[in-house]
Structure 1
Amino acid sequence: MTMTKKLIITLLLLISIAFVHCLAFHVELEEFEPPRQEEQEAPVGEGSGEGWQEESTSEFPYHFRKRSFKNWFQSKEGFVKMLPKFTKRAPNLFRGIENYRFSLYDMEPNSFLVPLHLDADSVVIILQGHGVAEFVTAKTKELFHLTKGDVVRLPSGITHFAINTNQTVPLRFAKITIPVNNPGQFQNYFSAPSQFQQSYFTGFSKEVLSASFNIPEELVGRIFFGPQQMGQGIMRRITPDQIKELTENSTSPSNKHKDKSTKFSPFSLFTHDSVSSYTNDFGHFHEAHPESFDQLQDLQIAVTWTNMTQGSVFLPQYNSKATFVTFVENGCARYEMASPYSFQGEQQQQQWWPEQGEEKEEDMSGQVHKIVSRVCKSDVFIIPAGHPFTIVSHDENFVSVGFGIYASNSIRTFLAGQGNVLSNLDTVATRVAFGVGSKVAEKLFTSQNYSHFAPTTPSHQQS
């Protein structure tokens, strides 16, 4: 009996030891198990169109989601966000626009952007609110009142400041910037110190500044080097009385001489006679060409505003020379674009993200790839020159603005709708090219009842 108990105890001990070893081995395996691959982004919700798939950002360089922006400045008075250089995403694909930077500004009510200048030219479009911008030179001081849809040229080196004069609504604007020193890189030069930005006067000795301004060195140190402004950012809250003083002391030659336009003068995309506009019940489109505006001509920049109603399509089209950086101000829409480049799979990614110094060979395969992406508020989408594209608004009204790069003499060509370019093809050419009969050839490109914008459902089409 004693021997039997000893055997049982020994057997139990052996089983326990084996179990512990197995458990340790299992834990050890778990600790060294390779991490699971992260799940891809969840599918887009319903109402975004049938049978389309959204590409992930890592595989699809044209679409910059709002999380792609980097905070350059942020406080309770507002923020400045900027996209990284386009060539960071795809060095070869965006080589032609590597010198251009896109940024977004948001100023809270009764806020003041302190005076500064840039080593870059800029074009600004007001997205929301009301404000004032003042440009200062050695001889002039010009103030301009700005509202939604206004376009402003900021020449390189011009000293300027901005005020949100609205007491309830933020002043929001988008900006395309063209550096003049280093491609894709520019600097902001502030005259006054702030929490994160030194005054450019700190680049001089107090002795030089004292002699330059004919003031004591102690005052120089207090104004330009002192801590009195260091608790505030480049955007500051000001009182309505201060706003009144600033606007009263400024002149506005654009108001006095409405027929006289300068490179400083803003213009409205909605009301200016030289803006090209397409409009019907399903959408509105406004485009300022560089040939028509002195403010844009030397920069070769075009500016657009697109407003689409729910359930509409901006008919297929392309731009002959301009590459557009489009920013979504409101809503969501489906962008479809025909591209000769594929971005699916590891091989294609390696082709478009080459090592430094490598060149990508031209793709002569003749394949067309369907680029489809759901683009929503605060996203950016790049439309290269020559790429046919369309925009489909499904669940809500959709608003976007665009900056066209290299837009001089660029022609916007529509591929569908009344008056589209293919409707001018000779019927015989259509018949031969598409392999259709005479009756189909006559109606193939002439059956659409609308121009530029159309409904997505046939029931809304005119008879």
Structure 2
Amino acid sequence: MAINKLTITLFLLISFAVFHCLAFRVEVQEFEPPRQEGQEGPGGGSGEGWDEEATKNPYHFGQWSFKNFFQSKDGFVKMLPKFTKRSSTLFRGIENYRFLFQEMEPNTFLVPHHLDADYVFLVVQGKGVIGFVTDTANESFQITKGDVVRVPSSVTHFFANTNGTVPLRLAKIAVPANVPGHFQVFFPAHSGFHQSYFTGFSKDVLTASFNIPEELLGRLIRGPQQQVGQGIIRRVSPEQIKELTEHEHATSPSNKHKDKKDKHKDKDRSTFGSPFNLLAQDAIYSNKFGRYHEAHPKRFSQLQDLDIAVGWVNMTQGSLFLPQYNSETTFVTFVENGCARYEMASPYTFQAEQQQPWFGPGQEEEVEEEMSGQVHKIVSRVCKGEVFILPAGHPFAILSQDENFVAVGFGIHASNSTRTFLAGQDNMLSNINTVATRLSFGLGSKLAEKLFTSQNYSHFAPTTPSHQFPEKPKPSFQSIFNLAGF
């Protein structure tokens, strides 16, 4: 009997401990990637589903989350899975957007193609040339680090990396035109495993369309014999690169569009809208701890109809991008250099193995909102080559750690969005009158005055505070300000 009582007691203690741990896990969700940069998922492949099982963080996409869109020994284009595949609820607002990353080795050429999608890309490293071709125009532009380029849907274009030593790296956001969240690439010439779109026509149609003998159709459909097996991205000689750039008369956008408050400065200068250099614009936030550049769709016509903003943040080691949130914009953020810890307050919980409900024809999913009063702290270490999402309305902060941190982002639904800082000299909360602050946070008058006015920096700050309050108040309820360390 004594043994049975002891067994029951131990069972109850263990059950209580497990319940306590699970409850705490829901309130504070901290995530750390289990592998270092460059490690692969199970089986050495792209590791579909591995990121969910490894991190359990819906907002963080590790390198193993990407799939090869196409790849050769001379370069690749990788793409994240559709966002709603991770969570149909959390990412419904951005389900029609896809993030891609392209890298081309020195002296390489990506053959002409078009997509049934609009996309915007940002050059994060290197230099090269992009050429556009339509039935009425043939334009090309030199591109370099910081350049932003809009590629309209179904416009044929090609790339060349004109640098002999440095890879060309591009971050892209695509907006499909036909099927929400999905698009295809079309090639006029046969390349590697990708057929020419002329393969979809009969010989009679092709012969009549091009007015060429049948023996030339093989060249049109299968390509030259000496190019059989070559990929979409292929190595070319420096002489061919020079010939290509000279023939195309490529112009450079890098020194154009300086921010001189000229209302006519950013109007299109070409059929396609001239590329512009993001880093040539004045930083909208800047001090010795960091700089943030942003191109807004209201100012740049190339971005207006897509309603996309493009941002670039550069933070020094040991600095903090102060807590903030965007009213309507969701940022898809790609890490180009270094590592950082990002923290975010979210009212949503996430289960990696949640089942997707099935809805019959004409039926739509209904999500019932509840005010649980809980705030879940999302914490992740993000490093070069990884992506993290910053949803609209969610307060977040970014802390650079071991080295300088560089990240670029594409803001979706950006036209009418505003950014609100929750700490720093320009923070919104400092405008709350002292009485309201005292009543809300249960502070005395003097502490209420200091709570939101003691930070000496705006936007970026050191991670080590210069001073602290003599008494640190302990709030009796969960608050988003736990993020900022109050």
| TM-score scaled by length of structure 2 | 0.79
Q: Map 1:414-453 onto structure 2 (within 5 A).
A: 414-453=421-460
User: Map of 1:38-437 to 2, 5 A cutoff?
Assistant: 57=54, 59-226=56-223, 228=225, 229-252=227-250, 261-262=268-269, 263-272=272-281, 277-343=284-350, 348-349=351-352, 353-357=355-359, 359-437=366-444
Partner of 1:28: none
Alignment match, 2:476: none
After superposition, the Cα gap between the structure-2 partners of 1:144 and 1:398, relative to the gap in structure 1 and judged at 3 Å, is: same
2:241 partner SS? helix
Q: Deviations over 1:253-306 (max 9, x none)?
A: 676997552443111111136xx5211111111111111110100000011111
Query: 1:199-240 CA distances to partner (integer Å, 9 max, x unpaired)?
Result: 111111222222222211111112323562331010111111
* RMSD (CA atoms): 2.3
Match of 1:6 in 2: none
Quote the Cα distance in structure 1 between the aligned partners of 2:432 and 2:440.
10
| CA distance in structure 1 between the aligned counterparts of 2:399 and 2:121, rounded to whole angstroms | 26
The offset of 1:187, in angstroms, is 0.5
Cα shift at 1:58: 5.6
> How far apart, CA to CA, are the structure 2 residues paired with 1:294 and 1:359?
36
Question: Contact 2:256 / 2:276 at 8 angstroms: preserved in 1?
Answer: no
Query: What is the match of residue 15 of structure 1?
Result: none
SS of the residue corresponding to residue 315 of structure 1 reads strand
How many Å separate the matches in 1 of 2:453 and 2:413?
32
After superposition, what is the alpha-carbon deviation per residue over 1:369-428, rounded to whole angstroms, capped at 9, x for unaligned?
Answer: 101011111111011100000001111111111011111111111111111111111121
Q: Which amino acid aligns with 1:355?
A: P
8 Å CA contact retained: 1:57, 1:64? no
Alignment match, 2:24? none
| Counterpart amino acid of residue 271 in structure 1 | A
Aligned pair in 2 of structure 1 residues 97, 41: CA closer, same or farther (>3 Å)? closer
Would the aligned equivalents of 2:82 and 2:98 in 1 still touch at CA under 8 Å? yes
Partner-residue secondary structure (3-state), 1:458: coil
What is the CA-CA distance between 1:251 and the residue it aligns to? 3.6
Q: Secondary structure at the match of 1:249?
A: helix
Point out where structure 2 has 5 or more consecutive residues left out of the alignment.
Answer: 1-30, 37-50, 258-264, 360-364, 469-486
CA shift for structure 1 position 319 = 0.3
Instruction: String of CA shifts for 1:164-185, please: whole Å, max 9, x gaps.
Output: 0000000000110000000011
Give the direction of change, closer, same or farther, for the CA distance of 1:209–1:78 in structure 2 (3 Å limit). Answer: same
Identify if the C-alpha distance between structure 1 residues 353 and 420 changes in structure 2 by more than 3 Å, giving closer, same or farther: farther
Amino acid aligned to 1:242 = Q
Bigger-Rg structure (1/2): 1
5+ long unaligned stretches in structure 1: 1-39, 46-53
Whether contact under 8 Å (2:189, 2:222) holds in the other structure is no
Count of aligned positions = 407
Displacement, 1:244? 1.5
The separation in 1 between residues aligned to 2:424 and 2:295, in whole angstroms, is 22
SS at structure 1 position matched to 2:284: strand
The amino acid that maps onto 2:286 is T
